[in-house]
Each structure stands twice: as structure tokens, then as C-alpha cells.
Amino acid sequence: MPVEMGLWRADGDKLSRISPTSVGLESQLETYIESDPTMLGEPLLIIGRQVPTAFGGYIDLLALDETAAVHVIELKRDKTPRDVTAQTLDYGSWVSTLGRADIQAIFEHYRPGAALEEEFAECFNETLPEEVNASQTFTIVAASVDAATERIVRFVNEGFGVPINVVFFRHFIDNGASYLARTWLVEHEGLGAISTASGSRQTKTREPWNGTDWYVSFGEDSGTRQWADGREYGFVSGGGAKWCSRTLKNLPVGARVFVHIPKAGYVGVGRVTGEAQRFDQTIVNVGGAATPLRELELQGTYRHEGDDSDDSVEWVVPVEWIHAVPREQAFWKNGMFANQNTAAKLRQQFTIEQVSEAFGLED
């Protein structure tokens, strides 16, 4: 039975059904999704629109999820049930042959001048994985669907484990206000992606984040930034370019940070006590007195070319250290987490456990 959505307005004890309208919806959905891809139920980074394939067709939208799997998003429009399903899978077969360089080329055509790595980090607060497009997910977007489309998609999805689904949007207008309602043909939660390497259904296997622990990279530079300053006065910092400071600003007050010096190891664990501020505006507590950080005798200069710009200046996040050691006592084991972002969610339990044990931290 085709999926049907209903919407009612409740006026006291009386319910009034609001009838959906499809006027203009199909033509607008592509733009709606491009502007806010979370409409499809999860964060996505759009990397292409009307992407030409090697055999002459055009994919409506291409996107990456946080695992760098590719999502092929195709609008039903006026296609027949067999056409829209077959076309989506056909496009997917072509997408599965694309390598990282191909994906980057598609994105660069879509967003000239933008770097995929930076946009991925901006969207997901994660570094773009080395392996891009290891798996694909296929989504058909429709205002309505007939029984034949439902039957075909369910058969392919449930019978063969192919991650293809239909998401429905219905348009409702009530007293001048416009609404969109969404539902899925096949239960969406937990839908996996098909792996190009094995051809089998593959679910996301990243460790879950505990919502508290963050990784911070304290990139020492003899002319700019020194860990000895951060350890003594209670802060982490980053700057010189928007890329270096942007993720640092994501650190929430109360977060626990595991601080790593590249090529050295982990040197501190602490709690964030305030929001990120420009270095030249940061006040620290020294012997009970509020003191501008810039007035202290520091080993680093914390200066960058173009410091007048917020994008270039050094940014500082205050931290109360739970345990911090000199660089010479940095702790490292093979297999521990390291990341090129200044700050990132720390998901790897191995790193949390090893650093906690080395620093004598309680659970």
C-alpha cells in the first residue's frame, strides 16, 4: 500500500484535516535539500548538483556523510516507477567507480575555490578520511509514490540489502503558513551503506562519542606557540589561519580536553572553563590577579601575519588542568588518536584509556 501522510489542525476539541498540495513541490525539493540537506535525516555535505555521468545522465544531488560515504539523491519528478529506481541504481553503479580525486573534482566544479577538506571539517567537525566513497547510499525523493515503486524499492532493499530508500515530502498550507512533512518508505534508522570493496551491506562502525571528551592539537612553534605557556597559565590555543582556529572555537565550556603535541605525544588533560577569545583579549588568573595574557613574559609570541583579522589572529581557550606534563614527558603509544584539526571529538576509547592510565586519572 502506498505511503500516505495526513496533517490535522487541532482547534480545542475539534480536528480539521489539512489537505496537501503538490503545486510546485517537485521542482522546489532539489533546492530545499541543497540548502538544508538535514531534511534527509542526517548531516550531509552536498558536493554536486546536476552532476554529469560518464554515460550522459545527470545526478540530481551528490552528498557525503560523516563517514565520507557518497549519497546519490534522485528526485522522482515525472519518472515511472521502474525508471526512477533503475536510474538511481544505474547512477550508483557509476558513482561506485569514483576515486577520491574524482570526488574532489566534482566538488571543485560545484564549489569553485572551496576546499573539500575544509568544508568537510566545517560540516562534521571531523577530518576528511583518507578513504572517500568506500560505500554508497541511494535516496529517491518524492512528493508521492505509487504501489509499484514501493514494491520495487522494498524488494531491492529488504530482499538484497541494497541501501535504497524513498523519502516522501508533502506540502501543506494552512492559514497562509506553509509546511513540509517527511516520512520514509523503509525504516530509516540504522540503514547501512553498500561497500564497493565487498559488495555487502556495511553499517557505520566508528566508535560512539561520549559527548564530553575532545582532542586538541597544540602545535608548538618556537616563534609562535609554546606548550610551557599553556601548561603554566592554563590555556590551549591555535591560529594563523581560519582553518587552525575554527575548530578550537567549537570547544564547549565543561568539555574535557586531551592535549596532544604533534610528533611528541599527549601532554595534558583538563576542563574547558571559558569560550574562545582572541589572544590579545584574553585574561588569565595569575596569583589571584586577573592579568592580560599578552602582558606576561611568555616563551611564545602568539603573533601571526595579518593579526588584525579574526581569521588570522591567535585564539585562546582557558583550561583548568587535571594533569599536565612538560613536553619532555609527553605520552604516546602506537595506535593512539591524532588529527590535523586543532580540535575534534575524541571517540577512540583506546586513547582515552591509555592517557588516563598514564596520567593516573580516575574514571
Indicate if the pLDDT at residue 200 is higher than 50: no
As given in the structure block, the three cell numbers for residue 242 are 581560519
Is 252 within a domain?
yes
Q: Are residues 13 and 135 both part of a single domain?
A: yes
**100-110 helix and 116-124 helix, angle to the nearest 10 degrees:** 90
Tally of structural domains, the chain: 2
Is 148 within a domain?
yes
Q: Are residues 240 and 107 both part of a single domain?
A: no
Rounded average pLDDT over 43-67: 94
Question: By residue range, what is the domain housing residue 249?
Answer: 213-358
User: Distance (Å, rounded) from C-alpha 108 to C-alpha 358?
Assistant: 44
Q: How confident is the model at residue 22 (pLDDT cuts 50, 70, 90)?
A: low
- Return the ∠ at Cα 42 (arms to 40 and 45), rounded to 5°: 90
Is 208 within a domain?
no
Indicate if the pLDDT at residue 223 is higher than 90: no
Indicate if the pLDDT at residue 146 is higher than 80: no
Q: What is the pLDDT, as a whole number, of residue 252?
A: 95
Indicate if the pLDDT at residue 112 is higher than 50: yes
CATH code, domain carrying 231 = 3.10.590
Q: Are residues 140 and 237 both part of a single domain?
A: no
Kind plus residue range of the DSSP H or E element containing 72:
strand 70-75
Indicate if the pLDDT at residue 220 is higher than 60: yes
Q: Are residues 314 and 249 both part of a single domain?
A: yes
Kindly report which listed range (33-47, 140-154, 216-230, 284-298) carries the lowest average pLDDT score.
Answer: 140-154
Whole-model pTM: value is 0.59
- Return the ∠ at Cα 352 (arms to 336 and 322), rounded to 5°: 125
Residue that finishes a domain, picked among 168, 202, 236: 202
Indicate if the pLDDT at residue 36 is higher than 90: yes
Q: How confident is the model at residue 115 (pLDDT cuts 50, 70, 90)?
A: confident
Q: 66 with 134: CB under 8 angstroms?
A: no
Q: For residues 163 and 1, which has the higher predicted lDDT (pLDDT)?
A: 163
Is 163 within a domain?
yes
Q: Are residues 227 and 197 both part of a single domain?
A: no
Q: What is the pLDDT, as a whole number, of residue 191?
A: 45
